[in-house]
Chains A and B, each alone.
Chain A
Amino acid sequence: MSGEEEQGTEKQNADHSDEGIFGKAWRYVRGFFSTMDTAHRDNAVELTEFEARELENVFVLILMGSFMGLPSPPSSLSVELLPHLEHELQVLNRRAERSSDALAEVSSLLDID
């Protein structure tokens, strides 16, 4: 969204090079609020995104439990779903890389410095 915004602003710049001082001010105010809006939206979904990632991680862990000795569903389920799990496997891999520092992830999520 922010990229589109910037492009739009540039276009406006070009089109409205002869706009008055009020027009300019209005544009800046709008830009300011839209950036703020995006930032707030991103903030708002951060936790939900984290939750979704965790669930995806759990989903694939359950499905591929046999990789690490968890009780796993009938192999046929894992086998047939495997081709569609690219995203989830990436999440799992990333999660595994960061697993040694889980505290840092949680504290950054909760804005603790």
Chain B
Amino acid sequence: MKSIFFTGKGGVGKSTLASAAAWQLAQRGNKVLAVSLDPAHNLGDIFGKELNYKKKKLAHNLWLQEANLDRAAQEYLKQNTELLTQVYSYTRAFNLDMYFKVLRHSPGVEEYASLLILEEAFRNKDGMDYIVFDTPPTGLTLRILALPNISVTWIDRLRRIRRDILKKRHTVYNISGQKDGPETVLPYTEEEDPVMQKLNEMFKRYVSLYAQLSKKDSNYIAVVFNPDYLSLRESQRIIDGLNDLELPLRAGFNNKYTSELSPQADEVEQELFEGKDNVVVNRVPLQEYRREGAYEMDHDVVTPILEGVSNSG
């Protein structure tokens, strides 16, 4: 299974190129799933179909899905609240139920919900050959992609503290032994401690998610931009962000290109990709206006990504 991410500033044509890529891949006989992670979905509009959080088959070999972040976040929180009320019978004493209500709107939940959707897609139960992701605006996309990395760092720190705690508990147990009475022995080995177990499990999940995202030969990240200054600046931020996260950028699509804009296009491309020889640069000509079927583009957007062929200087 391979995945392709289309990132870029709002309005540059991420969704259009993502749907074109999905369509072209499916035409070539691959099983393709196109997922929109953008809360303001366009995928359904482009394909002229009402979509929701479930996969919908559009054509032979092509499935579409519009991720519902709100729903995913709520489902996730509900699961955990249920577990919580099972474990604590006195959640109210801690005001934890309030905490959970507020948590829905706390920063990070939306990113996490997107991550859950990514994970689910990567699990690839239906044996897709390609998964094409249409991403939300730059800021959110970068935060989503950063989350596995950040989480791994946090978990690593937490695990260190936890290990110290367990060591100390072990010492206490070794010296004073089992005590009678209301005091129960706290878990002191990594295998018995549920917190450590949970930390280890999360660590594994995030590491594998990050591995999937950073694999050069199976995850392609493409940045879409237009030959203008604003999208240049934002694309630069995306490229820098990906660089910080050590995620590989595969391709840059200079979308809505016309020959009159050639000098501008040259300038933008040069600024973005100078010294980045491994990034494919592809110019996508401005398409005719049409209300339907924008995904049926003559321009080939798949080959540049898969085979690494540039069509400009």
**Residues of A at under 8 Å CB distance from B?**
1, 3-4, 38, 41-42, 44-45, 48-49, 51-52, 55-56, 58-59, 62-63, 66-67, 73-77, 79-89
For the complex, is B1 an interface residue (Cβ under 8 Å from A)?
A: no
Nearest 4 A-B pairs (CB), nearest first? A52-B168, A73-B154, A84-B194, A83-B87
Query: Are B169 and A52 in contact, with the CB atoms below 8 A?
Result: yes
Known: A66-B106, A76-B108. Contact between A55 and B165, CB under 8 A? yes
A residues in contact with B88, CB < 8 Å: 83, 86
Once bound together, how far apart are the Cα atoms of A74 and B155, in whole Å? 10
Which of B77, B161, B177, B202 sits near A59, CB closer than 8 Å? B161
| Least distance between B190 CB and chain A CB atoms (Å) | 14
| Least distance between A102 CB and chain B CB atoms (Å) | 20
Once bound together, how far apart are the Cα atoms of A76 and B109, in whole Å? 7
For the complex, is B211 an interface residue (Cβ under 8 Å from A)?
A: no
Once bound together, how far apart are the Cα atoms of A89 and B199, in whole Å? 17
Known: A77-B202, A86-B87. Contact between A1 and B178, CB under 8 A? yes
Which of A3, A42, A62, A79 is the most central at the interface, judged by chain B CB atoms within 10 Å of its CB?
A79
B residues in contact with A62, CB < 8 Å: 157-158, 161
- Interface of A, secondary structure class, is helix
Classify chain B's interface size.
Answer: 35 or more
Query: Are B112 and A76 in contact, with the CB atoms below 8 A?
Result: yes
Known: A52-B168, A84-B194. Contact between A74 and B151, CB under 8 A? yes
Query: Are A80 and B112 in contact, with the CB atoms below 8 A?
Result: no
Once bound together, how far apart are the Cα atoms of A76 and B77, in whole Å? 9
Query: Are A84 and B195 in contact, with the CB atoms below 8 A?
Result: yes
User: Nearest chain-A residue to B178 (Cβ)?
Assistant: A1
Query: Are A63 and B158 in contact, with the CB atoms below 8 A?
Result: yes
Query: Are B165 and A75 in contact, with the CB atoms below 8 A?
Result: no
Query: Are B172 and A87 in contact, with the CB atoms below 8 A?
Result: no
| Least distance between B230 CB and chain A CB atoms (Å) | 31
A residues in contact with B158, CB < 8 Å: 59, 62-63, 73, 77
| Least distance between B91 CB and chain A CB atoms (Å) | 10
Query: Are A77 and B109 in contact, with the CB atoms below 8 A?
Result: no
Q: Which of B133-182 contact A (CB under 8 A)?
A: 147, 150-151, 154-155, 157-158, 161-162, 164-165, 168-169, 171-172, 175-181
- Interface of B, secondary structure class, is helix
User: Nearest chain-A residue to B103 (Cβ)?
Assistant: A75
| Least distance between B246 CB and chain A CB atoms (Å) | 19
Query: Are B199 and A79 in contact, with the CB atoms below 8 A?
Result: no
Once bound together, how far apart are the Cα atoms of A44 and B175, in whole Å? 8
For the complex, is B80 an interface residue (Cβ under 8 Å from A)?
A: yes
Query: Are B151 and A73 in contact, with the CB atoms below 8 A?
Result: yes
Query: Are B195 and A74 in contact, with the CB atoms below 8 A?
Result: no
Which of B111, B147, B171 is the most central at the interface, judged by chain A CB atoms within 10 Å of its CB?
B171
Once bound together, how far apart are the Cα atoms of A59 and B157, in whole Å? 10
| Least distance between A13 CB and chain B CB atoms (Å) | 20
For the complex, is B261 an interface residue (Cβ under 8 Å from A)?
A: no
Query: Are B195 and A85 in contact, with the CB atoms below 8 A?
Result: yes
A residues in contact with B165, CB < 8 Å: 52, 55-56, 59
A67-B99, A77-B155, A83-B80 provided; 10 other pairs, C-beta below 8 A?
A45-B171, A49-B172, A52-B172, A59-B161, A62-B157, A73-B154, A74-B112, A74-B147, A76-B76, A76-B108
| Least distance between B48 CB and chain A CB atoms (Å) | 36
User: Nearest chain-A residue to B197 (Cβ)?
Assistant: A84
